[in-house]
Amino acid sequence: MAEHPAYPVGLRLTGRRVVVLGGGQVAQRRLPALIAAGADILLVSPEATPSVEAMADAGEITWEKRPYAEGDLADAWYALIATGDTEANNRASAEAERHRVWCVRSDDADRATAWTPATGHSEGVTIAVLTTDARGRDPRHTAAIRDAVVEGLRDGTLVAPHHRTRTPGVALVGGGPGDPDLITVRGRRLLAEADVVITDHLGPRDLLAELPSSVEVIDAAKLPYGRFMAQEAINNALIEYAKQGKSVVRLKGGDPFVYGRGMEEVQALSEAGIPCTVVPGISSSISVPGAAGIPVTHRGVAHEFTVVSGHIAPDDERSLVDWPSLAKLTGTLVILMGVATIGKVAETLIAHGKSPDTPVALVQEGTTAGQRRVDATLKTVAETVRTEDVKPPAVIVIGEVVRVGPTATAPRE
């Protein structure tokens, strides 16, 4: 049997009986894919691992707690033979052969009539890798090939454009705080497949260098916007490129919906009838403090964190932020776009009851090579920003969490 290569095929098991003999580690590894395929699974085994037992408890499989018995495979379309008893496995194999049921053997690939490939999934395709003959079987090698292909497709280093299924439109992709490794797998893949990328100055700029030269990269800040507002110019560019049938990625820093005007773009695209996908990103509001050793919550210290925009000062009539109420909160305040206004913010928080000694950390250019953390207190922060020349982009963290990490530094007095 081993002289010829195995013939690869995809089994459509929905509602079809699959019998699994043995409830150990092999069954535990294989069952999720059989369940996902919609198979009607009968497990025959006196024992099962806790995970397999949980699948039975959840009604995903039927479990008969007993050893294999002749006749168990009569109604099966497919069988997985994986008991610890070689003699029972041999009898089950013989029964499978008689009933012409394809069967996998965990203990003896040579005696199996089917082999399980190393499989992985990536957006609508299953990658399955099989060795050509039983003697040369090297499960680690097939798994490594599977991993390389799946990883490559996921992170965009292996580019396989969706020629047949690709729908033109716009993907609004959150690029994360700046480190190119902190974009999502889906975001990176969409970037690799894009015809046009419209970017901001924040976010993972290093990723742009990796794009193929055929990709048109447009800096949103440099779009000509004449009588239009900048945001309208961006919306119009997204719509125009999409109407030309191009795959457009709108790459934004952090998450598109955290002070990113993402929904304005979604609305404009929807009004123009352009399909739009939103890919969340890691927001700087949590990740930048974390990268500087500051947890936004900590047991016994802060049970809440509030993310606030500081782009409008507290005494400005356009402000929508209730600073007096924020001063009364005991948890963490995270301020974005607040470098220019932090002096007035600190004054307001102190005036409404926050202690002047409340710790403050400013984290500039978090997660990038230029990351820098400066510590202060509410009383000293305005002066510290000046003397230390703190510049945007920076995330400002106010609260006791600033002092809990091992990298906390003494505030500048």
Ligand X SMILES: C[S@@+](CC[C@H](N)C(=O)[O-])C[C@H]1O[C@@H](n2cnc3c(N)ncnc32)[C@H](O)[C@@H]1O
Name the residue nearer to ligand X (CB basis): 24 or 290: 290
Residue choice 23, 204, 314, 366 for contact with ligand X (CB under 6 A): 366
- Kindly state the smallest distance separating residue 309's Cβ from ligand X, in Å: 8
The two structure tokens encoding residue 148 = 């390389």
Number of residues interacting with ligand X: please give it, by CB under 6 A.
25
| Whole-angstrom distance, CA of residue 39 vs CA of residue 33 | 9
Stretch that binds ligand X, among 102-110, 122-130, 323-331, 389-397 (CB under 6 A): 389-397
Residue choice 61, 381, 390, 395 for contact with ligand X (CB under 6 A): 395
CB 285 within 8 A of CB 307: yes
Q: CA 251, 256, 259, 265 torsion: positive or negative?
A: positive
| Whole-angstrom distance, CA of residue 125 vs CA of residue 217 | 28
Does the footprint of ligand X cover residue 266 (CB under 6 A)?
no
The two structure tokens encoding residue 89 = 């496995």
CB 297 within 8 A of CB 324: no
> Which amino acid does the sequence have at 48?
A
Distances (CA, A) of 111 to 1, 8, 90, 129, 154: 8, 18, 8, 20, 36
- Kindly state the smallest distance separating residue 242's Cβ from ligand X, in Å: 22
Name the residue nearer to ligand X (CB basis): 106 or 283: 283
Does the footprint of ligand X cover residue 254 (CB under 6 A)?
yes
Does the footprint of ligand X cover residue 168 (CB under 6 A)?
no
Does the footprint of ligand X cover residue 255 (CB under 6 A)?
yes
| Whole-angstrom distance, CA of residue 113 vs CA of residue 410 | 68
Name the residue nearer to ligand X (CB basis): 149 or 183: 183
Draw the binding track, 321-360, toward ligand X (x: CB under 6 A; -: no contact): ---------------xx-----------------------
Q: Which neighbouring-strand residues pair with 14? A: none
Name the residue nearer to ligand X (CB basis): 101 or 385: 385
The pairing of beta strand 332-336 with beta strand 305-309? parallel
Q: How many Cα atoms sit within 13 Å of 7 on the Cβ side?
A: 4
Q: How many Cα atoms sit within 13 Å of 389 on the Cβ side?
A: 0
Does the footprint of ligand X cover residue 365 (CB under 6 A)?
yes
Does the footprint of ligand X cover residue 198 (CB under 6 A)?
no
Residue choice 173, 288, 308, 313 for contact with ligand X (CB under 6 A): 288
- Kindly state the smallest distance separating residue 225's Cβ from ligand X, in Å: 18
Instruction: Name the nearest CA neighbour of 160 among 198, 233, 197, 212.
Output: 212
- Closest residue to ligand X using C-beta atoms: 254
Does the footprint of ligand X cover residue 394 (CB under 6 A)?
yes
Interface residues toward ligand X, by CB under 6 A: 177-178, 202, 252-255, 258-260, 283-285, 288, 336-337, 363, 365-368, 392-395
